[in-house]
Each structure stands twice: as C-alpha cells, then as structure tokens.
Amino acid sequence: MAKTTSKKPAKKSKVSPSFANTFYVTTPIYYPNDVPHIGHAYTTIAADILARWNKLLGKKVYFLTGTDEHGKKLQETAEKVGKKPKEFIDALIPEFKKDWERINAKYDHFIRTTDKQHEQVVQEMLQKSFDNGDIYLGEYEGLYCVGCEAYYTEKDLVDGCCPIHKKPVEKLKEKSYFFKLSKYKDKLLKLYKEHPEFILPKERANYVIASVKAGLPDLSISRTSFDWGIPLPFDKKHVCYVWFDALFNYYSGTQIKGKEEFWPANIHLIGKDILWFHVVYWPAFLMSVGLDLPKSVFAHGWWTVNGDKMSKSLGNVVKIDKLVGIAGVDSARYFLFRNTAFGQDGDFSETALIERHNNELANKLGNLVSRVSALAERYGLEKTSNSLLPKLAIKKIKSHYDNYEFDKALNEIFAFIDICNEYVQTNKPWETENKKVLYELADSIKAFTILISPIIPETAEKISKIFSFDLNIDQIEEPLKVSKIIKAPILFQKIEITKQTELKVPKKKIETKINKPAIPGIVSMAEMIKYDDFAKLDLRVGKIKSVADIDGADKLYNLSVDLGKTLGTKTILAGIKQYYKKEELKDKLIIVITNLEPRKMKGLESQGMLLAASNEEHTKVILISPSADIEVGSTVG
C-alpha cells in the first residue's frame, strides 16, 4: 500500500500536477439493490467515452467502476428477502456487470466496498484521520434518511419528509464519532478559488461555495444502531459512515498491483445529486489523511423520461436492456450524448432516440459509408490529396472531448459528414466513376470515424475493417492506404416510428400530464400544448410549382413551392414519392409550415414542411380545393 503507510502525512493537500500521461476516470459506485437504469448508464458511458478518448490520445488509462455495498439500506433490503447482506448482493453483481457489457463499457476494474482490500484501506484511513486529531467521540441527535444514507436538518425537509425520497426521516440519537469538517472550511474555500477546475461544470461551484461559507458543521461518521459496515479500527462497536467508506473506493481502487501510479483521479464523474459529498466531504477527508486531491469532479444533470421523473411507481424506469433494445447500443450511446449537453438535465424519449438514429446515424453516417463503400467496390480508389479534410475541425473536436463537450464534438463531426454527403451529390461518382473523389471520401470517412469512435465504438470498428485503417489518432491525417473495398453491410437499419412507439409511454404518465380528467374510456394520445406554442407556427397556403426526383432518394420529392409575395418560393423535401406521381402534385394548393429550422437531407436543404395525413399504409398530402379560391401566401390558423 504505497502512500498510505507513510508515517507522517503531509500537512497540506494539493492537487497533483502529474496528469500528463495517465488518465484515471471513475463513476460513482452504485447501490446494487436496484438494477441499473439510464441514469446509471449515462455516467458509465461518459466514463467509457473518456477512457476510450484518452487511450486514443496514447495515454495510460484506468477506468474504475463498482458497487457501494454497505449501509442500513442494503441491510434492510436483504433482511426483507430473508438473506444475509453479502449473500444478497453477491447474487446481484453478475447482473450489474452484464448491463455494463450491454452498453459496451470497458472498465478496467470493478470495485466492491465489501472487498477485503478496500475494507482494509478504509480502516487505515480512519486510523490516520483519528491519529491526526480529526475524529472525536460525541453524541449525534438528528434526522436521517436511510434512502440517501444522509443526515438532514428540519429546514431541509419537505412536509417532514426527505426532499429526495419523499419518505419520513428517522430521528436518531446515538454515540457517534465525528469528523472535524468545520476545520476544513477555509482550506476548501481556498481549493475552490485556486482550482476552479475542481468543480465542473463551473456553474455548479457558486452554490457549493456559498453553502461552505455559510458554515460546515462537523460530520457524524460512525453508527452503532446497525452492523453492516466497516468497523472503526479504534472502536469496533461502531461501523463507519457509508459515505466515508464509499468515497475511499476511488483511492483503494488504485492501491492494487500496477495501479498505484493512477492516484489521484483526473476526473470523478457523478450525478448532480451527489456533488456535495464529492466536493466537500471527499477533499476534506483526503486533506485529513494527507493524500493528493483529484483534479476535477464533474456533476452531470438528471434524465427525465417523456418529461417525468423516473420512478418505479410511474413504471417509466428505462433499464439497460430497454435502452439498448430500441435501436442498438451505439444509437443509445449516441443519443444520450448528442441530445443533451453533458452537465445539463436531459429528457429521454424513445421517439427522439429513433429519430436521431434514423435521421443522423442511418441517413447521414450510414448512407455515406454504404454509398462510398459500394462505389469503391465497383470502381476502386485512387490515391490523391484529400480536399475535404481541412474542413474537419480536428482541433476543435479534440478540445471538445477534453472539455467534456461531447454534444459539440458530435455537432462538428456531423457538420463534416454533411459536407461529405454534399460532395457525393455534387461529384456524382456513380456517373463519373471518379476514383479520386471516392478516395477523398474514403479518407474522410477514416478521419471522422477515428474521432467518433469513443462514442460509437462498435460501428467505428466495423467501418475501420471495411476501409482497412486503424482506430488510432495518428491515422486521422495519415493518408488512407488503398485497399480492396467490399460494400459495407447496413450499419443502422432504419426504424419506423409507429403509433405503437408513442403508446409505449405508460398510461399513468399521460394522466399526470393532462390536468383535467380525461373523458372516461378515451386515452388521450396527444400532449396538450399552450395556445402560445401553437401561435408560433407560421402556416401558409402554397402552390406546388414543380416536382423533382432526388438522386439516391427513393422516398423524397424535391418540391418547389410558391408561398406568395412575402415569402417567395421555397424548397420543400417531402417523403411522399411512393404515394404520388409527379403530375398529381403539380399546381396543387397545399399547407406549409414555413418557419421550421431548415433541415439538410440528401445534401439539399428543406425550408419547410407540408401538412399531410398519415396512417399505417399511406400518407396523403392535405390539398386545398381550387374552388376554395384562397390566395397563395395566405396564413392558416
């Protein structure tokens, strides 16, 4: 045990400067009494992305995850099913690990707080802190929430209940050892000031700083009313407070053979609800035992599901098999990090995931790889300099990864994919048989695939095999070696969004959204929106002036629509080709939403959307009868 056994701990803790060649990332250790869900998967995938990214950069990486297995909550849950805690938890761990395999999270070590080695480290730390005079015996009287394994004061409660679990708290009075947290107030404030990167995203620091300034009471760190925990080495009647025990996993996880060099962590990834434990208690404990501090703690936001908080009672908990079952593991990973900026709260919906899977992964990325590989199989590649590559914002993307801005990295990568798709459209290699154009495209695919590989590793692996390149950062600007290409299999199969998809929203959720009781017997499918939201739509009457096919699109028509004097003529791409002949549409009056953000499809920009009625079999454009005598450009509403 490297540093912990040194006799005299250094008096002053500091943030270690030696992060250059190693990268150590952690997730919270999860309570194993619940199966993992999208919230847990989010942190674990984020850690996996960072681990893969840093490996790509050539660093030595250590990715630690695990389970938090002590405490009253677990003891009670095990007792309810008539089991001993350890026996109860042992049965759950394989399921946990299976879920992390499902999301393709390649952690290096899975730590359990019931590991003997961890227990030993925690005891050493307790002893050290005690010897340093930071732990004393007192009496604790207060309110405790077993769900949080945390103490509350009266003013924290909501209607007498825990603000998170909404359940009554327990009144506890017992002899307890206290940690002198108050002693660390100034040191913590100094830490936040000198190392603004310690609390990330930075906006979360203000609240912490204000609360620490308001005063830090000493912290009760031992319990005698239950025994499922690590005994204090200096008083075995007491077991250690579960958060002291749990936080030290990040350290004990490095005190195993070959991993010592990784201490301290570059980044602890956590959810925002456990920020206080990580940026107040944790550095204070570390200062007390004389260990270096981690560089950063990053607190991400919370996921709701279709606008609601996830909860067992609503039946809307998105478990891992469901998450990856919708459109595959890479689409799930992509959605979670494209849809929401890391740090902000996000809302999960199956439809939104499928839409991104269809529109971005299948239509843009998948189509590009499939077209280029098919044409390269037919015509071959001829090496040339790649005129597209300078348009890939490599530096920006790297810095987005390093700053945990995964959504921004993806935006840049997809902006480049759009450029590649446009290049296909304008150069028409299927007509010109231009092997140099195909080489430029294949070389571009190599470059962005390497950059996107931490987020969609399974797909990146497949693409690298098709075009024969290594997923290695040095290969981004290294010209692709010409090889024999075989057409790629479909990377992302498009998924139809049916009414069924919407119906998967649990009924209860619909009831909570609609304020007035629904008419008995009728399940309302639509979500109510305010009149103001509707009024934002600019609906107008338009006349279809021409209808054209689009290269490589079997479902889309390119419509040129006259929208009157003010708006002029707009291009509208509509997926109605299979339902109408061109002449059936020409000169027809339709209704158009004119103020939607333009969308790129097949290298063209659609500047609006026409109104149509769909069922499972067909889509019919809503046509205005010529006898209605309505002028083009009139507003509808």
For residue 278, indicate whether it is catalytic: no
- Which lies closer to ligand MSP via its Cβ, residue 316 or residue 373? 316
For residue 357, indicate whether it is catalytic: no
Within 453-581, residue ranges assigned H as helices are 457-466, 499-503, 507-513, 531-535, 564-567
- Which lies closer to ligand MSP via its Cβ, residue 99 or residue 440? 99
For residue 565, indicate whether it is catalytic: no
Smallest gap from residue 228 Cβ to ligand MSP (A):
14
Candidates 119, 38, 32; CA nearest to 78 is: 32
Smallest gap from residue 121 Cβ to ligand MSP (A):
14
Of 167, 309, 428, 499, which one is the catalytic site residue? 309
For residue 309, indicate whether it is catalytic: yes
Of 80, 312, 530, 581, which one is the catalytic site residue? 312
Point out which residues bind ligand MSP (CB under 6 A).
Answer: 28-31, 39-40, 42-43, 68, 246-247, 249, 270-271, 273-274, 302-303, 310
Helix axes 435-452, 394-402, angle to 10 degrees: 10
Where residue 281 falls (left for φ over 0; alpha for ψ -120 to 50; beta otherwise) is alpha
Candidates 91, 58, 295; CA nearest to 194 is: 295
Contact 23, 265 (CB under 8 A): no
Name the β-bridge partners of 112. Answer: 67
Q: Give the whole-angstrom CA distance, residue 303 versus residue 301.
A: 7
Of 70, 128, 148, 435, which one is the catalytic site residue? 148
- Which lies closer to ligand MSP via its Cβ, residue 67 or residue 358? 67
Smallest gap from residue 118 Cβ to ligand MSP (A):
12
For residue 618, indicate whether it is catalytic: no
The structure tokens 């944790």 sit at 282
Q: Give the whole-angstrom CA distance, residue 89 versus residue 155.
A: 35
The structure tokens 């690990």 sit at 97
- Which lies closer to ligand MSP via its Cβ, residue 248 or residue 469? 248
Smallest gap from residue 113 Cβ to ligand MSP (A):
9
What 3-state DSSP class applies to 180? coil
Of 73, 118, 162, 408, which one is the catalytic site residue? 162
Of 118, 128, 145, 435, which one is the catalytic site residue? 145
For residue 148, indicate whether it is catalytic: yes
Q: Give the whole-angstrom CA distance, residue 52 versus residue 2.
A: 27
The structure tokens 């290695």 sit at 472
Distance spanning both ends of the chain, measured CA to CA: 73
CA 323 to chain centre: 12
Smallest gap from residue 240 Cβ to ligand MSP (A):
13
One-letter identity of residue 115: D
- Residue number closest to ligand MSP, CB atom: 271
Smallest gap from residue 273 Cβ to ligand MSP (A):
5
- Which lies closer to ligand MSP via its Cβ, residue 229 or residue 542? 229
Smallest gap from residue 274 Cβ to ligand MSP (A):
5
What contacts 156, CB < 8 A, 6 or more positions away? 163
Buried b (16+ CB within 10 A) or exposed e, 331-369: bbbbbbbbbbbbbeebebbbeebbebbbebbbbbbbbbb
Smallest gap from residue 311 Cβ to ligand MSP (A):
9
For residue 165, indicate whether it is catalytic: yes
- Which lies closer to ligand MSP via its Cβ, residue 45 or residue 466? 45
Contact 300, 404 (CB under 8 A): no
481 sits in which H/E element? none
- Which lies closer to ligand MSP via its Cβ, residue 259 or residue 436? 259
Of 165, 213, 507, 586, which one is the catalytic site residue? 165
- What is the side-by-side order of every strand in the sheet holding 222-223? 222-223, 235-240, 231-232
- Which lies closer to ligand MSP via its Cβ, residue 139 or residue 273? 273
- Which lies closer to ligand MSP via its Cβ, residue 274 or residue 361? 274
Q: Give the whole-angstrom CA distance, residue 238 versus residue 224.
A: 5
What contacts 143, CB < 8 A, 6 or more positions away? 151, 152, 153, 154, 157, 169, 170, 171, 172
Of 40, 72, 128, 446, which one is the catalytic site residue? 40
Smallest gap from residue 41 Cβ to ligand MSP (A):
9
For residue 162, indicate whether it is catalytic: yes
Positions marked active-site: 37, 40, 145, 148, 162, 165, 309, 312
